[in-house]
Amino acid sequence: MEIIVIASLVLGVLVLNRPVTALFQRLYTRQQFKKFIARETFYHSVVSRYFGYYNRLGLDEQRKFLFRTYQFQQSKHFHYIEVQANTEMPILVSAAAVQLTFGLDKFKLNYFDDIFILRDDYHYGFYSRPFMGHVDQTGIYLSWDNFIKGISGQTANCNVGLHEMGHALAYVNFVTQTEEDKHFKKEFTEFSKVARPIFTAMQEGRKNLLGEYASTNYHEFWAVSVEVFFENPVQFRHELPALYEAMSRVLNQDPLQFPEGSTTIIRRSVPSVAAN
């Protein structure tokens, strides 16, 4: 009899766990939203100075973007190495991640608790060349000098923030599988059907808009494609239309489709901010 009672309790916990967890998540999100509202104006002032992407969104989408930026920042520990920290840094880094994932349900890159911001180029491991950023099991690393140049539009087709967040997005979906977005994983298979032949041709010497570094390996091909998709969408769509369309599908957004006062999202309607 005792075994039956214990088994029933365990079964009850398992059955109720998901709805209870969902309820607590909704309550926590609402609490976060209340705190965010008090800082929304400041977040807007920071993000709007650097992110043309954000400025082209409608008002509802801008609020969603800023709230996601706040949520992303709150979920991370930021570390500053040989660089003077300020309140804008974590906001701008978080906004880069949100831009990339704005069309997806999962956006916090939850495997990564730590983001490291370094002053400028740095050396990593046994590599002789300097790094602008990288992603590994210990966290997301970015050089601030290169990051700020990227979001300021000073480096053509180069945005280290988007590049490394592209690596991080693939990492949480395919390596750790800790924050899998169903749409992204499903569409990435279709993306690769288009992308793999282009990547193979690049390794054989064919040149295109993505540049030589994209042919290093498929991981870099993906991350560079992310950069150019957002930084130079007009030329990308003109020169590599099939790949551009595949990028639009896998990220569920199109930087060239900004209806006036509306949104980039192309697959689903936008839920209320407080429910995200």
172-193: per-residue pLDDT in tens? Answer: 999 999 889 999 999 999 999 9
Q: Tell me, yes or no, whether 14 lies in a domain.
A: no
Which residue bears the tokens 């997005």?
Answer: 169
Contact 219, 199 (CB under 8 A): no
**Alpha-carbon dihedral sign for residues 32, 33, 38, 41:** positive
Q: Tell me, yes or no, whether 95 lies in a domain.
A: yes
Q: What gap in Å lies between CA 110 and CA 115, rounded to an integer?
A: 12
The 10s digit of each residue's pLDDT in 219-262 is 999 999 999 999 999 999 999 999 999 999 999 999 998 644 44
* Whole-number pLDDT of residue 2: 60
Q: How far is CA 243 from the centre of its chain?
A: 19
Phi (first) and psi of residue 216, to 5 degrees: -55, -55
SS3 (DSSP) at 185? helix
* Whole-number pLDDT of residue 272: 37
Higher pLDDT, 274 or 84: 84
Which residues on adjacent β-strands are paired with residue 122?
A: 131
Q: Tell me, yes or no, whether 21 lies in a domain.
A: no
* Whole-number pLDDT of residue 263: 43
The 10s digit of each residue's pLDDT in 54-70 is 999 999 999 999 999 99
**Domains of the chain: total:** 1
Q: Tell me, yes or no, whether 149 lies in a domain.
A: yes
Give me 75's structure tokens. Answer: 């979920």
* Whole-number pLDDT of residue 20: 64
Higher pLDDT, 130 or 252: 252
Q: Tell me, yes or no, whether 146 lies in a domain.
A: yes
Please give the average per-residue pLDDT across 205-223, as a whole number: 96
Cα-based angle 25, 26, 32 (whole degrees, multiple of 5): 90
Q: Tell me, yes or no, whether 224 lies in a domain.
A: yes
Q: Tell me, yes or no, whether 60 lies in a domain.
A: yes
Instruction: Name the residue range of residue 199's domain.
Output: 39-275
Q: Give me the helix-helix angle, 182-203 and 241-251, nearest 10°.
A: 150
> Each residue of 174-195: b (16+ CB within 10 Å) or e?
eeeeebebebbeebbeebeebb
Write down the pTM of the prediction.
0.85
Say whether pLDDT at 7 is over 90. no
Q: Tell me, yes or no, whether 5 lies in a domain.
A: no
CATH number of the CATH domain containing 249: 3.40.390.10
